[in-house]
A and B are shown apart, each in its own frame.
Chain A
């Protein structure tokens, strides 16, 4: 489903991603862990083409972007629609209700009819347990509820892959569970997901594979079982000790 080859990203003269190679099969859940500044967010943003990698190739499904070659804005916009992004700070549109947030992509980007989009959006809000909050503005929702709207908004575009960048780390501890539950349901439905998170319990339960990133490299990857109980690299061991 996803294939990343030789991905590099430089900000000025700081190299943040130093050659990432990764394949992810359809329906798999990948959790990325790693210390602050290791490039996890940058990597996810590259998958969503919010950052343009310096070089490398990304393919999703049967579409590919090769960043060593010129590409049009159109190529980027179309590629972006293959992935749905869930942000740490939700980034809901504050001037739209929950329902309008979820309808926005289908109506504006896919040019769906409003009525149809509304029904689909309502179904998605029901799925994330927020049917009764459809007409609330973001400021009237808790962080956990906002993040669930954020997930529904991304799902409304029917992406092939869902990307999550620390979706629960801005939340009060008692609100983390409701968001993780929605994500777990998604995983069980067979959604392909790449998740950056510090929720190790969630990773153990849900991930098919855990990736440890450090210094712009993928240092180690394996099943949660392998990586958490029997890490091979010194740096992985150190990191796991630190967070436990």
Chain B
């Protein structure tokens, strides 16, 4: 079988390039129109949700703390795929029908929000008490202290773990194919189902994910460098 396949495609460079060429554009389109926007939108929404959740956890207000805890526990304790299926296939039973893309945005944002909230909470807790006190002693409010003193320092601590979350998210968006979002991996499946070049197409999709994540890790390095400029080396 393997031999047959190899002789079929791999040993025929012309055919190989022809398939790659005809599928590359649809895949890149899937990435540009769906995978990347989905990642960026959900990451930003998730980050906002994460900050609110972290602040709720640290607020000292019992009700807020409990809501935040239950949310984080529920999201971390259930598979992402199950969450997506509940939102897309489950909610219609309640009469709530959501299109694939917004359903994916909701599902992934809730997911990022829960995981990133723990990162942000730990980062906020890592800022020494003296920093809060110095800010308060200048007359700053809680909000001003967060914005001017705590978040800038917490950002430095949380960039590496948040980058991991972001890179995982890029890859997790492939699950959106299962709720009918026309993102890159779904495109690969569609093409493969017509020409049966599964190995080629899934490898091609994998390579594109890899390229995106590689570029992201370069960006991550730049950001870390910038945030570390005030740290002794």
Query: Hey, which bits of chain A sit against chain B, CB under 8 A?
Result: 48, 50, 73, 77-78, 80-81, 83-85, 87, 89, 91-96, 104-105, 108-109, 137-140, 153-154, 157
Contact = CB atoms under 8 A, between A and B. Distances in A.
Contacts of B134: 85, 87, 91-93, 153
B133 A91 contact: yes
B1 interface: no
A118 B215 CA distance: 39
Report whether over half of chain B's contact residues are helix, strand or loop; otherwise say mixed. helix
A31 B153 CA distance: 35
B140 interface: yes
A93 B149 contact: yes
A94 B153 contact: yes
Contacts of B21: none
Contacts of B133: 50, 85, 87, 91
Interface string B119-139: 000000000101101111111
Interface string B126-161: 001011011111111100100011001100100000
Contacts of A73: 141
Given A87-B130, A104-B148, A154 B230 contact: no
Contacts, number: 69
A183 B19 CA distance: 78
B139 A95 contact: no
Contact of B139 (A80, A87, A92, A140): A80
Contacts of A104: 138, 148
Nearest to B152: A95
A105 B133 CA distance: 13
The contact size tier of chain B is 20 to 34
A105 B231 CA distance: 22
Contacts of B131: 91, 93
Nearest to B232: A139
A157 to B, nearest CB: 6
- Chain B CB within 10 Å — which of A108, A137, A138, A139 has the most? A108
B140 A109 contact: yes
B134 to A, nearest CB: 4
16 contacts: A73-B141, A80-B136, A80-B137, A81-B138, A84-B137, A85-B133, A87-B137, A91-B133, A93-B131, A93-B134, A94-B231, A96-B230, A108-B140, A140-B232, A153-B138, A154-B137
A77 B141 contact: yes
A95 B139 CA distance: 19
Interface string B194-233: 0000000000000000000000000000000000011110
